[in-house]
Structure 1
Amino acid sequence: MSSAERKGLIGSAVLAALFCGAAPAALAQAPSASVGEAVPTAEVAGASLSGVVVTARRREEQAQDVPIALQVTSGERLEQTQVNTITQLTQLVPTLQVLSPNPRNTALTIRGLGASYGLANDGLEQGVGVYIDQVYVSRPAIATLDFIDIQQVEVLRGPQGTLFGKNTTAGALNVTTLNASNTFEAAIEGSYGSYNFRQVKGTISGSIIKDVLAARISAVGTWRDGDIYNPVQKLDQNARDSQGYRAQILYTPTPKLTVRLNGEYAQQQPECCTQLFYRVGTTQKPASQQFPALAAGLNYRPASTDIHDRLADVNDRIQADQWVSGLSAIVDYDLGWATLTSVTAHREWDWEPRNDRDYTALDVTRRSNNPSHQKQDSQELRLASNGTNRVDWTVGVYYFDQNVTTNGITEYGADAAYWLLPGTNTPSALLAGYTVFNDSSIDTTSYAAFGQLTWNVSDRLRVTPGIRYTHEEKDGSYVSTVTGGLATTDTVLINRRLGVARPQNYQAETSDGSFSGQVAVSYDLTDTVHAYGTYSRGYKSGGINMAGIPTTAAGAPSLVNAVVEPEKVTTYEAGLKTELFDRFVTANAAVFATNVRDFQANVVDAGPGALRGYLANVEKVTVRGAELDLSTRPINGFSFYSNLAYTDGEYDSFLNGPCPLERVGTSTAACDLSGKELPGVSKWAGSFGGEYRRELSIGRFSGEAYAGVDASFRSAYFADATDSIYSRLPSYQIVNLRAGFKSDAGWEAFVSAKNVLDEEYIQNITVVSGNSGLVVGTPGDDSTVSFTLRARY
């Protein structure tokens, strides 16, 4: 039996013992609760949704009353499970998938939709909207920053185009941070663990003017040595180095008026993020033009051909520096019959990378960096009815303005001519030092008006229609220039070099408007069983290619490829939200079917050079699936949770798709991918866990001891838009353990062990440009242990 098989059996045994043995015993001892009795939220990982308050419809409601498939993770649960970023949140929320080879190229999907797999393109935003304290965040790099002062994270599945609006065709992440308090609070926390992991968190909050003015200040710093060793440069790589700061001023001059001023700043400056040799794919090119022969011709061997040896051999500097800042003002005024809310925000993101883009010790592509600066301003006004009426309603208007500027550089080296133009006897000097400078700028302006109401037809029946109209304009320009390399008048050599990278200069604009929205019907079968059905229309505006476009036969930019059509999403969903066994178990289930027209995809260019991908539309995509979420209240110290998702996504019609690696080299310029699986979609994904707590005295210390297990799994999926057999990532499962003691005196100490089975898995892969067949990737985190000490006052 292989090591992987043994780990799989052990992991399955752990899960089987947890849910087949312990859960029924707990169920048998469930206490009764009177009908209608408020059930407090459990303060443990996997807590029941009973009593959980969410703002999924821009008003405070019980999670079980909202006709939306959602999953809520409290800040306390994030702390207990040592989930510090949205990237790590996927281990608790199986319907969320995050691929992040580096912050700029982070892709978020929910139910398999939301992102165009491949290199990020400034002209397109994702379909999973990230909202932090009601402010839309357009750059997904936020997913790589450390959580700080989180109250809860709501993952809303399916189109949220009415109230959240801005590009939420797949779903939304609604992140809420903790408010300043009028009573004094302070907390400090320190962690140390494997790879010299160090993390420090601190918070202080309190009143400045009693019951009128309060403030809250929080900070987090995280450092960790790299988990990959580079024998060429003799240093560790893919490290962590980040700091974040958040401040809030809460002003409540009267009971009717609340003003929250939020400010945040975060930075990351790690030596990150390179990828390692994963495999070699066989193409249709002559053998002499494929990776084994090309590497042998330069006497090159990768540092290791086993990605889990964690050896890289890039020979140029790498970095993934980013800075994020934001200011927002949230004003709520209670008019009595309704509440008026204003959300004003400004955010900026700076990205300063360095990459060795050939991912080898060879001198092929020395640099391929795209430093960017993004700034956005937004304003939202909402008016929402108060209380519970025959008709509850929310109306509003929204404005968004964004500018993204990128000044990139790609430089080729002495091995580039041999590697990218094999079999042509091209002198190495032709591309040595050949440099491409690309400058792009895109402005986006968006306006929207929206309204949603809930008609309480009876005590049990509710109908919720909502509609939003969005008008969006984009105006972009792209200029690339070339310099360096061999000075020559030989037209054959000049054309070869231009085939690798050529100057481009184009401008494009797009303007479109559309309606989105939903109709939801919910019915209370009993006081604890709620059924709902939803029809949703989502809309993501058109985009502009801001990373270069293919050229015509004459070498001019193919302007027909400059603009991408809007993406239109239709979703049908039906679900049950239940509380069973006297509210001991919360069990929610949903089935859904989604059709996407003009799906926005990242198409890989078949050429050898710098244009590694551009945006295009896929005629039709469908995704269908079912989800089940279970959780329990604590009973005799035990609590459990389980989340399971089945998702089936495919290209219904993709006649002009990119060809997979195994077909590169044929005369086919495009391939029919109709009927192929949608990339990034695992048919099965799930998370399971449980925890035991009991009162305990240790010497003169009294408090609560606890131990918990959290496990997750994901079945195999394609990590590239072409569905190449070489981009199929295998299934994996991860088991984490934790144990600690929480003192009545306000301090807590615990140990967290992640990936205790040392599962070997791959986070993401890249098919390296040039089509030599080289595929590189990033190995998932191996087994680590950390110790945390926390104190609260």
Structure 2
Amino acid sequence: MKSTTFTNQQFRRNLCAAAVASALLGIAMPAVAQDTDEEEQATRLERIEVTARRTTENLQEVPVAVTSVSGAEILERGISNILEIAQFSPNTTLQTSRATNSTITAFIRGVGQEDPLWGYEPGVGIYIDDIYVARPQGAVLDILNVERIEVLRGPQGTLYGKNTIGGAVKYVTRRMSGDREFSVSGTVGSYNQRDLKVTGEMPLIENTLYFGFGYANLQRDGYGSFLTSDLPNQDRENYNKDVQAMRATLEWYPSDTTFVRLAWDKTDDESNSKGGYRLLPSLLTDAPVPDSFYDSYTSLPTENKVETEGLSLLIEQEINEEWQFRSITANRENYSPVNIDFDNTSLRIFDVPAIYDDKWFTQEFQLNYSSDNLSFVSGLYYYDADSCGTFDAILEVLGQAAFGTPGLTREVSGCSNSKSQAIYGQGSYQLNDQWSFTAGLRYTRDEKEALVRNGLIFDTVYPESGWIPGYVRGPEVGTPVVLDDSQTWNKVTPRLGAEYRYSADTMFYASFGQGFKSGTFNPRAETAEPAANPEDVYSYEVGVKSDITDRLRVNATVFMLDHENRQYVSVIPDPNDATVLNQRLANVGESDATGLELEFTWIATNDLTIYGNVGLIDASFNNVLSFDAQGNQIDITDQFVITNTPDTTANIGFSYDLRVANGDLVINGNYSYRSSYGLTELNNLLTQDAYGVLNLGVNWYSGSGKWRVGVHGKNLTNEKFLVGNYAFLTPDANNPGEFLPGLGGDTTLIGYYGDPRTVSLTVGYRF
């Protein structure tokens, strides 16, 4: 790999960018001596380091499909949270989950998890500094103290374990340098956006012990409003933002070969619950379809909360030049009382207030080795998690009309407790100057216990006292225990690969990998049904990583995957009782996918860089089974679609550097395209048409490197695009295009939308 050099303009701009990025991200920048001869040389591609294989490596030498977006790039492009990273990674979807701001829906290569209910496991793993974020609640991470974000595509079952069958997203923070630093930035923008970020670090003991911190207060008015609410003193903002995020870190170097980091983080999201847009008029109210996609109606309180907190301890010990020991200990938890108005009317037609309460502990020990021709990563892993929750499906209008009761509530509550132990190892052997081989194996033992309470209450109840004055707390009613069971699974997930270095700058690779998503019990069980077994994904890849010239980098991957034993909830009709949902969870689905991914970076001139990516995928179900009301097995494959997976994703972007009298300007932008995709796996009624999002930004860096000013416009063409939906209605077979009432007695078809056009101004200063 050739060394990185810069022209005078590029050199100075990158110094300024790095200095201010370091300040805003709470890190220090080492002193750099300018060399006139070096400055005059042409700009070349830079070396990018990633930890995709749990050790630091050059991106171009890692035989894995991985995208890395650095902290400096995040700053320049005005990226505010982890969701925007999906634009820069092909075949990747990262979105907020319907009615909240902080719950993530993540799909990579057509694999993910649509339903974020407790007990259901995700298909894409989210990590903060190699620490697993087990639940989707609170996983929409705002950018603070970040070095880079990596997206690993394809199953990562050997090094990362269960629940990474689609891939993994890694949020990597930067280690401190030890200098005394303090920085502050403020942002104002559309919809009364007003953000404040403060970061810093200081030595407590010179060259030995350092303290770093970060604080963010992120505020924004709603994109729309709740048009009606019968409840007093309710905030009517819809799609607003009210988030506080904090980090504190101690880093200790007791010797030249030992590193210890103690890190704490906390996020409080008190943004309102999101109200959806009614795509059809309600049959039970006279309220019209709102004029704005961001307006809604509700009969629930609008307040919402997601609290997440984590504490971790990292110990790294260099035993000698070849051996390293690592210990990663973490404890995380989140608590989230949420209000989801499924029907989005001012009546209690189908309201679902809920509480999520999750805690998990992880411990990992690694023993790693590296020599001239052999390197491997090995480890032991332990995971202990409690995932609990309660929701009340309130069908008050139906209860009054059908039964003459004060209301009707199906209350479901319970816990899914998991323990997992794993041992793993993966190594690469360099046979000669051209050929190397990779092999890995992971053994996992999963234990899961589940308790589910489920029952009908002929009244309107809420899961917490005082949620709405005058209504009782649900658990006091005492719905019956319908499932109390446990199950153990053992899985072995291998990885095999071969790499061929055609030249110093070009590597071809081929690999086979397997991953699995944990088995689980149905958290909505109505009877003592058995657990669903783990899902399996078998993936085959052929790829190339090439720096074709000093200015052009092209990485490409062709892949094929088989997704077997997919877990799905089948709703089995009960001809004798319309209030019984009979939701059964089982391994009833299979799907496959083939695709192509291409990423490139081209330094067109010393001042202009162009980058982009293309993802193509053909993903579909090939076998889904269910049962009819008489217990007969039926094939319902034609009723299923792969969701959140456009056939084509593409992105083209640029960065242009311009030297001005008092500093440097960086003009950047990108256009991100997504072809059409479905929103619901079973009986999909909403398909988002193809669309593109245009973003532009201008950054100014002062000559001293202390000041930065950035103006960023997002979604400048103001595209309206769906990111989630609820559908509780039935197509009318006798009248195409018309619908019959569904659960709750109304035509409930609800859409949730991505962010509209926004413009923001950020000013940052480094002390």
Query: Per the shorter chain, which TM-score range?
Result: 0.7 to 0.9
Residue by residue over 1:420-444, the C-alpha shift from the partner in whole angstroms, topping out at 9 and shown as x without a partner, is xxxxxx35x33x3333433201210
Amino acid at match of 1:441: C
Partner of 2:30: none
Q: Distance in 2 between matches of 1:259 and 1:473?
A: 32
The structure-2 alpha-carbon separation of the partners of 1:82 and 1:580, relative to structure 1 and needing over 3 Å to count, comes to: same
Aligned partner of 1:338 among 313, 323, 331: 323
Query: Residue 470 of structure 2 corresponds to which residue in structure 1?
Result: none
Please name the residue that 1:710 is paired with.
Answer: 670
Residue number in structure 2 paired with 1:533: 510
State the match for 1:616 in structure 2.
586
**Matching residue of 1:467:** 441
AA matched with 2:619? G
Aligned to 1:7: none
Cα distance in structure 2, aligned partners of 1:356 and 1:503:
25
Give 1:83 deviation, angstroms. Answer: 1.9
In structure 2, which of residues 679, 693, 703 is the aligned counterpart of residue 744 of structure 1? 703
Partner of 2:108: 110
User: For 2:73, what is the secondary structure of its paired residue?
Assistant: helix
User: For residues 373 and 169 of structure 2, what CA distance do their matches in structure 1 show?
Assistant: 30
Instruction: Map 1:469-548 onto structure 2 (within 5 A).
Output: 469-485=443-459, 505-548=482-525
Deviation at 1:672, TM superposition (A): 1.7
Q: State the 1:767 CA deviation.
A: 0.8
Aligned equivalent of 2:557, options 590, 599, 607: 590
The aligned residue for residue 275 of structure 2 is 274
Tell me, yes or no, if structure 1 residue 216 matches structure 2 residue 212. yes
Instruction: Say whether residues 1:377 and 2:344 are aligned partners.
Output: no
The amino acid that maps onto 2:381 is Y
Are 1:691 and 2:676 counterparts?
no
> Which amino acid counterpart does residue 108 of structure 2 have in structure 1?
I
> Is 1:363–1:415's contact at 8 Å kept on the other side of the alignment?
no
Residue 672 of structure 1, aligned match among 630, 636, 642: 636
Match of 2:35 in 1: none
* 1:406 maps to which of 376, 389, 394: 389
Q: Which runs of 5+ in 1 are unaligned?
A: 1-34, 280-291, 419-425, 487-500, 550-556, 659-664
**Counterpart of 2:340?**
355
Q: 1:63, CA displacement in angstroms?
A: 0.3
Q: Indicate which of 62, 67, 89 corresponds to 1:66.
A: 62
Contact 2:4 2:44 in 1 (8 A): no
Write out per-residue CA displacement over residues 571-624 of structure 1, whole angstroms, 9 at most, x where no aligned residue: 00000101123x201100100000011012344566765859664323421011
Q: Could you tell me which of 756, 761, 779 is aligned with 2:716?
A: 756
Distance 1:50-1:181 versus aligned 2 partners, 3 A rule? closer
CA deviations on 1:490-529 (whole Å, 9 max, x unpaired) are xxxxxxxxxxx98552112211011102111111111111
Secondary structure of the 2:72 match is helix
Q: Distance in 2 between matches of 1:157 and 1:352?
A: 32
Shift of 1:404: 1.2
The code of the aligned residue for 1:507 comes to D
Q: Which residue of 1 aligns with 2:689?
A: 730
**1:160 is matched by which residue type in structure 2?**
Q
- Equivalence for 1:101: 98
**TM superposition shift of 1:179:** 1.6
Structure 1 CA distance, aligned partners of 2:307 and 2:194?
A: 20
Equivalent of 1:302, from 288, 296, 306? 288
Counterpart residue number, 2:726 = 766
CA deviations 1:457-478 (Å, max 9, x no partner) are 0122110100000000000101
Change (3 A) 1:602 1:93: farther
Indicate how the Cα distance of structure 1 residues 309 and 265 shifts in structure 2: closer, same or farther if over 3 A, else same. Answer: closer
Matched, 1:571 2:539: yes
**2:347 counterpart letter in structure 1:** L
CA distance in 2, matches of 1:278, 1:269: 27
Q: Deviations over 1:393-420 (max 9, x none)?
A: 12111000001121333333235554xx
Letter in 2 for 1:101: R
Q: CA shift at 1:730, angstroms?
A: 1.2
Say if 1:504 and 1:548, in contact at 8 Å, map to a contact too. Answer: no
Shift of 1:392: 1.1
Aligned to 1:496: none
- Say which is worse superposed, 675-684 or 470-479, in terms of deviation: 675-684
The 1:186–1:668 alpha-carbon spacing in structure 2 relative to 1, beyond 3 Å, is: farther
Question: How many pairs were matched up?
Answer: 693
**Partner AA of 2:756 in structure 1:** D
Change (3 A) 1:751 1:736: same
| 2:380 paired residue number | 397
Task: Please tell me the residue identity of whatever aligns with 1:171.
Answer: G
* Aligned equivalent of 2:605: 635
TM superposition shift of 1:751: 0.8
The amino acid across from 1:521 in the alignment is A
- Cα pair distance change 1:39/1:592, threshold 3 Å: farther
Q: Is the 8 A contact 1:179 1:216 kept in 2?
A: no
RMSD (Å), alpha carbons: 2.7
CA displacement, residues 721-747 of structure 1 (integer Å, 9 cap, x when unaligned): 1253x2212111100111121112210
Instruction: Describe the shift of the 1:327–1:611 C-alpha distance in structure 2 as closer, same or farther (beyond 3 A).
Output: farther
The CA distance in 2 between the partners of 1:597 and 1:414, in whole Å, is 41
For the residue of structure 1 that corresponds to 2:503, the secondary structure is coil
TM, length-normalised to structure 1: 0.83
CA distance in structure 2 between the partners assigned to 1:603 and 1:657 by the alignment: 8
Q: 1:461–1:524: 8 Å Cα contact kept in structure 2?
A: yes
**1:96 Cα deviation from its structure 2 partner:** 1.8
Assess, with a 3 A threshold, how the Cα gap between structure 1 residues 322 and 142 changes in structure 2: closer, same or farther.
closer
Change (3 A) 1:229 1:459: same
Q: Which amino acid aligns with 2:111?
A: L
Q: How far did 1:128 drift?
A: 0.9
Q: Does 1:448 align with 2:434?
A: no
Residue aligning to 2:466:
none
2:408 is matched with 434
**In 2: Cα distance, 1:567 partner to 1:78 partner:** 34
Q: Give 1:773 deviation, angstroms.
A: 4.1
Closer, same or farther in 2 for the Cα pair 1:276/1:612, shift >3 Å? farther
Pairwise CA distance, 1:634: 6.7
The alignment-based identity, stated in percent, is: 25
CA displacement at 1:229 relative to structure 2: 1.7
TM-score normalised according to structure 2 size: 0.85
After superposition, the Cα gap between the structure-2 partners of 1:669 and 1:462, relative to the gap in structure 1 and judged at 3 Å, is closer
The amino acid of 2:260's aligned partner reads V
Asked if 1:250 is matched to 2:210, the reply is: no
SS at match of 1:652: strand
- Cα 1:747–1:200 change in 2 (3 A) is same
Structure 1 pair 213–614 and aligned structure 2 pair: CA distance change class (3 A): farther
CA contact (8 A) 1:380 1:399 kept: yes
Equivalent in the alignment of 1:316 = 300
* Equivalence for 2:681: 721
Q: Deviations over 1:203-253 (max 9, x none)?
A: 111211111001110111111111122221383212111010011111001
